[in-house]
Amino acid sequence: MASSKQSSQVLAFLLLLISCLVSTATSASTMQCHDEDQAALLAISDAMGNSPYHFASWTPDTFCCDWSDVDCDAATGRVVGLSVSGDGNLTSASIPDAIANLTSLRNLTLRHLPGLTGDIPNSLSRLADLAFLTISYTGVSGPVPSFLSELANLVSLDLSFNSLTGAIPASLADLTSLSTIDLSRNKLDGPIPATLLSKCSGGEVVELYLSKNNFSGGIPAEFAGVNFTRLDLSRNSLTGDASAVLGKGKPLQYLDLSRNDLHFSLTGVELPEEVSFVDLSHNAIRGRVPAQVASLSNLQLFNVSYNRLCGVVPTGGVMARFDAYSYQHNKCLCGTPLPACHRYGLF
């Protein structure tokens, strides 16, 4: 009797297992991407030249959620991610308008595609759910499009290492979810919009990278109230006072303002306690190196070379980490690791 009962239980378990497997298979088949998403992806493949490096798996007889570079939402089966990168064989293609037909897209990455050229198309404004947009290391040119301010859910914008020209649209400052902007290594010019990243919701920490462009004017005074963790404005033509982005209590960890034309006194300026990287080299900064620098335990790089600083270099704490290169070509800085101060009559 017991054996019969056990056999019945085993049979019942097997039937339940088979039922679950069938249900899972059925569910999986219904979770494949929608026809319109598949059609859009095939159109993207055609427009980008059907590169075998990326699109070998993109065939009409398979489900697009199984294709490389494509991510689907597990609950809806809609395409939410597209990432095409590292293809030097792509030649003379523009960003396909068909991308805009992926209406549930949240993450779009087009990276290391030197053959991708032309403007960023206005059609991308239809991607209302887009949170992460990366178009980087390409031949894309034209302006930073103003329609980006219509993408209310945008969290991260990376348009670095392209050939973009013109000014940053002031309307980008209206995006309250945007917390990371990288426009470095382009040909952008004009002033930095005063309220850029200042409306980020809830005082969230933000990152801004604008290095190696042709930006001019001052660093916006409004930046004093922005919670930057990383700020890189290096290799531009910025002028004036940069002390507003410094100060104790700020969350800043990385600061590069090198190779501009900044004029302000470093005397009395306090640096954020958690900062690990500070490059202020190749400017016109005057005053002294603050003694507080020695107490910044996280500081790994400190470079104030090629400025107009004077006085004794602080000692103790972390100062032994920095050699003469960090201070060279200043007006009259002295003391370890530089020559003794008596040569300037300071002692």
Reported pTM: 0.88
Which domains are delineated in the chain?
Answer: 35-334 (3.80.10.10)
Of 175, 142, 138, 177, the C-alpha closest to 160 is 138
Alpha helices in the chain (DSSP H): 2-30, 35-47, 52-55
Helix (H, G, I), strand (E, B) or coil at 147: helix
Of 166, 172, 171, 170, the C-alpha closest to 186 is 166
d(CA 225, CA 212): 24
Of 228, 192, 222, the C-alpha closest to 210 is 192
User: If you average pLDDT over every residue of the chain, what do you get?
Assistant: 89
Alpha helices in 48-205 (DSSP H): 52-55
- pLDDT tens digits, one per residue of 98-115: 999 999 999 999 999 999
d(CA 174, CA 196): 8
Residues in the chain: 347
Residue whose pair of structure tokens reads 């382009």 in the numeric block: 186
Q: Walk along the chain (347 residues) and give the pLDDT tens digit of each residue.
A: 445 545 554 444 444 444 444 334 333 444 467 899 999 999 999 998 767 677 888 998 888 999 999 999 999 999 999 999 987 777 778 999 999 999 999 999 999 999 999 999 999 999 999 999 999 999 999 999 999 999 999 999 999 999 999 999 999 999 999 999 999 999 999 999 999 998 876 668 999 999 999 999 999 999 999 999 999 999 999 999 999 899 999 999 999 999 999 999 999 999 999 999 999 999 999 999 999 999 999 999 999 999 999 999 999 999 999 999 999 999 899 999 999 987 655 54
d(CA 288, CA 313): 8
Long-range contacts of 220-223 (CB under 8 A, 24+ apart): 220/192, 220/193, 220/194, 220/195, 220/196, 221/194, 222/194, 222/195, 222/198, 223/198
Please count the other Cβ atoms lying within 10 Å of the Cβ belonging to residue 242.
Answer: 24
- pLDDT tens digits, one per residue of 226-240: 999 999 999 999 999
Output the pLDDT for position 159.
98
